[in-house]
Copies of this chain bind each other. A is one copy, B any other.
Amino acid sequence: MSWNTFGRVFRFTTWGESHGPALGVVVDGCPPGINLTESDIQPFMDARKPGQSKYTTQRREADEVRILSGVFEGRTTGTPISLMIENTDQRSKDYSEVAKAYRPGHADYTYDAKYGFRDYRGGGRSSARETAARVASGAIARKVIPEVEITAWVEQIGDVAMDYDRFDKATIRTNPFFCPDAETVSRWEDLVDGARKSGSSLGALVTAQAEGVPAGWGAPIYAKLDSELAAAMMTINATKGVEIGDGFAAVTNTGETNADPMRPGADGGVAFEANHAGGIAGGISTGQPVTCRVAFKPTSSILTPVDTITSEGEATQIQTKGRHDPCVGIRGVPVVEAMMALVLADQKLLHRAQCG
C-alpha cells in the first residue's frame, strides 16, 4: 500500500517524484487565524536546499514554495493548505543504467518487487527530494506550536564526533554541517571532502531537541509521544535508528543512575534534576526538553562498483556517478526538525481534543 499521510488530527499528505514536474504537500487540520506567507516557509526550505556547498549534492533547486490554498488575506482559514514546489533541475541525464540494474541500498529492487515496475529517474518517489515537502509543512507546524523551540544538529559524522563541552547553539547555522561546535567544523570539512573526492560516503548522527513542550502531550498507548517521534524519524530516507533521551545508553544504566529525580519548581511547578528520559514518561511529555537522536546510514550511491543484478536477474555491477550527497545525514537536519514539529503540533491538537 501507498501511505503518504502522516498525523492524526494535524495531518499532511506529500506527493511527487524526484524528476516529475513538481512535488508538494497538503496540510489538513491546521488551526485558523495563523499568519502565514511563503516567506515564513522559505527559510526552512533554504536550509534544506541542495547545492549550497560542496559538501552536499550539486543538484540546484530554487525550492520555491507556492501556497495554493488554505490561506486568505495572510491568515490560515482552517481549510487544507496546499503547497507546491516545482522541480527545475531534473537534469536530462541518461538513466538507462539505473533503469536496468538495481542500486544496492536504494529502493530500486524493493519498489520493483512491490509494484512490478518503478519510476527510475533519480529514485522516483523514494528520492530524498520528497523531504522538501516535509520541511515546507514543518514550517506550518512550528506556527501551531509557538511555545516550542525546536533545534537539531549533527553530532557525529563517520567516527568524528563533536564535543559537547564546546556546544554553542548559535554556531549551528554558521557552517554547512549544522555543527554546534566550531572546532569540529574543520575536521568535518576534511572528512566529508575526502569522501566526496573519493566517491565514498559517510553516516551521521543527528540530535534534536524541543524546548517548551508543556507536560501532558502524548497519546498513550499507541500514539505515545516517543512512538510518534520514532515513527516520524524512521520515515526519513537513510535513517536506521532512533532513540529518546539516553536511548541505547540506558541499557547500561541502573535504576539509580537512570533516575530523573523531581523537586518543587520555583514557579509552583516541577524541577527535574536530570533528563535521562528525554522529556517523556509513559508516552507523555514531562515538561522537560524532548530529545531524540537519529542515525543516518552513509549514502548508498558510491563510485566503487558494487555487485548487483539487472531487472532480468543477470549478475552485473553498478557504480553511481551522478550528483549525490557524500553524507546525506547533514541535510537530514532540517528534515528531523520538521518531523519533530509535525509530531508535536499533532499531539498538541490531540491533547486539546480530549483534555480541552
- Is A179 at the interface (CB under 8 A from chain B)? no
Knowing A116-B33, A270-B309, A350-B353 are in contact, say whether A107-B234 is a contact too (CB < 8 A).
no
Inter-chain contact B300/A255, CB cutoff 8 Å: yes
Within 8 A of B (CB), among A131-185: 156, 158-159
Inter-chain contact A117/B11, CB cutoff 8 Å: no
CB contact between A300 and one of B259, B298, B355 (< 8 Å): that residue: B259
Knowing A119-B77, A231-B230, A254-B201 are in contact, say whether A216-B28 is a contact too (CB < 8 A).
no
CB contact between A235 and one of B205, B221, B308, B354 (< 8 Å): that residue: B221
Complex-state Cα separation, A300 to B228, whole angstroms: 22
Mask of A250-290 contacts with B, CB within 8 angstroms, 1/0: 11111110111111100011100100111011111111000
User: What's the nearest-Cβ distance from chain B to residue A133, in Å?
Assistant: 10
Listed stretches A19-27, A41-49, A53-61; interface member: A19-27
Knowing A2-B29, A300-B255 are in contact, say whether A72-B119 is a contact too (CB < 8 A).
yes
Complex-state Cα separation, A158 to B251, whole angstroms: 6
User: What's the nearest-Cβ distance from chain B to residue A242, in Å?
Assistant: 6
Within 8 A of B (CB), among A213-242: 215-224, 226-235, 239-242
Residues from chain B with Cβ under 8 Å of A93 in the complex: none
Inter-chain contact A295/B247, CB cutoff 8 Å: yes
Least CB separation from A195: chain B residue: B254
User: What's the nearest-Cβ distance from chain B to residue A113, in Å?
Assistant: 4
Complex-state Cα separation, A202 to B250, whole angstroms: 9
Task: Beyond A32-B354, A264-B315, list 20 extra A-B contacts (CB 8 Å).
Answer: A1-B9, A1-B219, A4-B221, A9-B350, A9-B353, A13-B13, A77-B125, A109-B286, A110-B281, A110-B284, A111-B284, A114-B355, A195-B254, A203-B250, A203-B253, A205-B251, A241-B242, A247-B295, A251-B296, A352-B356
Closest 7 CB pairs of A and B: A107-B282, A241-B243, A201-B255, A231-B231, A110-B284, A261-B307, A353-B353
Can you list 16 A-B contacts (CB < 8 A)? A3-B28, A3-B350, A4-B221, A9-B9, A9-B350, A17-B79, A32-B355, A110-B286, A113-B216, A113-B287, A126-B282, A158-B252, A202-B255, A227-B230, A241-B243, A251-B329
